Structure formats: structure tokens, C-alpha cells
Amino acid sequence: MENRRFLRTQALLGEQGMENLRRSRVMVVGLGAVGGYALEALARSGIGALVLVDFDIVEETNVNRQILALTSTIGRKKTEVARARVLDINPDCHVETKDVFVNADTLESLFSEPVDYVVDAIDALNPKCCLIEFLYRRGIPFVSSMGAALKSDPGCIRLTTLNKTKNCSLARFIRKRLKRREVDISKVCCVASEEQCCLPETAIFMDSESKNEIISCDAPGRKRHTLGSLPAITAIFGLTAANEVIKKLSKKLV
């Protein structure tokens, strides 16, 4: 029987566009609030192979904004939950999982096989900078998510380049570090919000049980600042990143 799962996508992208997606291998690094929604859109677009990277498990505090976080998935590995969801959407997708904390020591092995595109949904500063520099120097196409926490206006979210971001503290720190590493930040494609935040005192707090972090930390598991966030905003970040990947790989709407 004809596979009608992607009929409407093919109607827009055409047969060749769909074939390009089926032949593509995309890596999503970070399967949290942003990465989970990026993965959802990529899986539903008909991408042929997906590589899912995350070292974490689903926590109860993830439920407010992460598509993979359900009562039934709390305590399970995010990569395991994500793989099952992708295959439930598209059984023909080839799914690889890597339970890896991304840093300078793990990048070479992580990219031992080629990928066509990468979605960077890491929220830790040092691993994020290491990943962006690695992808930039090797010419691997990618789109990176800047800070989605503390934002509330969807109209301020932009697909842009890192040199044009504003009102984002995560982007500001990344710009400084990458400039020191001689990375051309005008070549770094990213999703960012231009919203100027007016925050209540409760927006940033310490949570010893949460893995969510504010621009800090090289290693998992430390006590960190936790940032307030809204589910619609983090979802739009992830969907915007995925849409860029789909457009570029399909080569139809570029």
C-alpha cells in the first residue's frame, strides 16, 4: 500500500525534495525543550536518518515544556524516549542514539560518520561553543538555538546569524568566546529572540534537582541556576530550527 504519511509535505516540496529528505542524515544535539520539538518536525518531514544525542533522563520538571516529557517517560533516557517516538512517526527512519555529554573530548567520536546537518540545542555554554567551533571548522551545516528561557513574546523570535543577535545573554557570551577562537560569527546560523526581558524575581532560582542551566558548566550534574520558561516559546525555537534544516536539505524552498 502507498505510504501516505508525507503526502502533504511532498505536495509542497515535490518528489525530488522528498527524496532529498529521505537521503539525508541529521543530528540533533540536545533533546530538551528546543531539541525535542526540532526532532518532532524533522521526524514528521520524512528525514531518512536521525542521530539523537543527549546524556540526560526525563525529569518531572521537564513536563512544562518538553515534548518527550510525559508521566509515562519520567526517569527514562531521553534518547530512548526520542527513538521510540521517531519510529512511531516514521518506522522507515534509521535512528541512532548516542548517550554522550558533548565536549571537546567526545566531538571526534560523535562525528565519526558524516551528517548532512546538525541542530544544536545544547544550553550549556562551554559544550555549545565547542560544538559550534567544531562544526564551523569542518564545514558541517548547522543551526544553533540561542536562549529561549525567560522569553515570552513569539513575535521577537528570529532566524538570523550570531553577529546580528541582540538582547540574548547566551548569544552575547557565545559571541565573545567564538571571536577569541577566530570563528566568523556571521557564518553561524541561529534562532534567537530579540525580546528585552522584564523579569520577576522568581524567574531565576536555584534548583538542585534540575539539569536546566544558565550559561555555565562543563560537566553534567552540578547545582545550577534554573530559568523560567514557557512551552510555546521553546517549541517555536525548535520548530524554527527544524524548518531551516528541512528547507535547506529539500533544496526546494531555498
118-156 pLDDT, tens digit per residue, is 999 998 999 999 999 999 999 999 999 999 988 999 999
Q: Which residue has the higher pLDDT, 217 or 202?
A: 202
Q: What is the mean pLDDT of the chain?
A: 90
pLDDT interval class at 197 (50, 70, 90): confident
Residue 150 grid coordinates: 525567560
Mean pLDDT, residues 14-37: 97
Mean pLDDT, residues 55-69: 97
Mean pLDDT, residues 219-225: 56
Mean pLDDT, residues 196-210: 55
Residue from 29, 203, 1 nearest 103 by CA: 29
- pLDDT for residue 2 is more than 70: no
- pLDDT for residue 203 is more than 50: no
Quickly tell me which residue has 540533533 as its cell: 28
pLDDT interval class at 3 (50, 70, 90): confident
Helix, strand, coil in percent for the chain, rounding step 5: 40, 15, 40
- pLDDT for residue 52 is more than 80: yes
Residue 90 backbone dihedrals phi, psi, to 5 degrees: -140, 90
- pLDDT reported for residue 1: 41
- pLDDT reported for residue 217: 40
- pLDDT for residue 204 is more than 50: no
Residue from 143, 129, 193 nearest 166 by CA: 193
Residues 12/36, Cβ–Cβ less than 8 Å: no
Q: Which pTM was predicted?
A: 0.90
- pLDDT for residue 228 is more than 90: no
- pLDDT reported for residue 210: 46
pLDDT in tens, 148-187: 988 999 999 999 999 999 999 999 999 999 999 999 999 9
Q: How far apart are CA 228 and CA 211, in angstroms?
A: 13
- pLDDT reported for residue 226: 78
Q: How far apart are CA 174 and CA 208, in angstroms?
A: 25
Percentage of the chain modeled with pLDDT above 90: 82
- pLDDT reported for residue 216: 36
- pLDDT for residue 51 is more than 50: yes
Show the CA angle centred on residue 69, arms to residues 225 and 245, nearest 5°.
Answer: 90
- pLDDT reported for residue 213: 41
- pLDDT reported for residue 212: 43
Domains and CATH numbers, the chain: 7-197+230-250 (3.40.50.720)
Please list, in sequence order, all residues whose beta carbon lies within 8 angstroms of the beta carbon of residue 78, skipping any fewer than 6 positions away: 31, 32, 36, 54, 56, 57, 58, 68
Q: How far apart are CA 6 and CA 17, in angstroms?
A: 12
Q: How far apart are CA 134 and CA 140, in angstroms?
A: 9
Quickly tell me which residue has 538582547 as its cell: 167
Residue 208 grid coordinates: 538542585
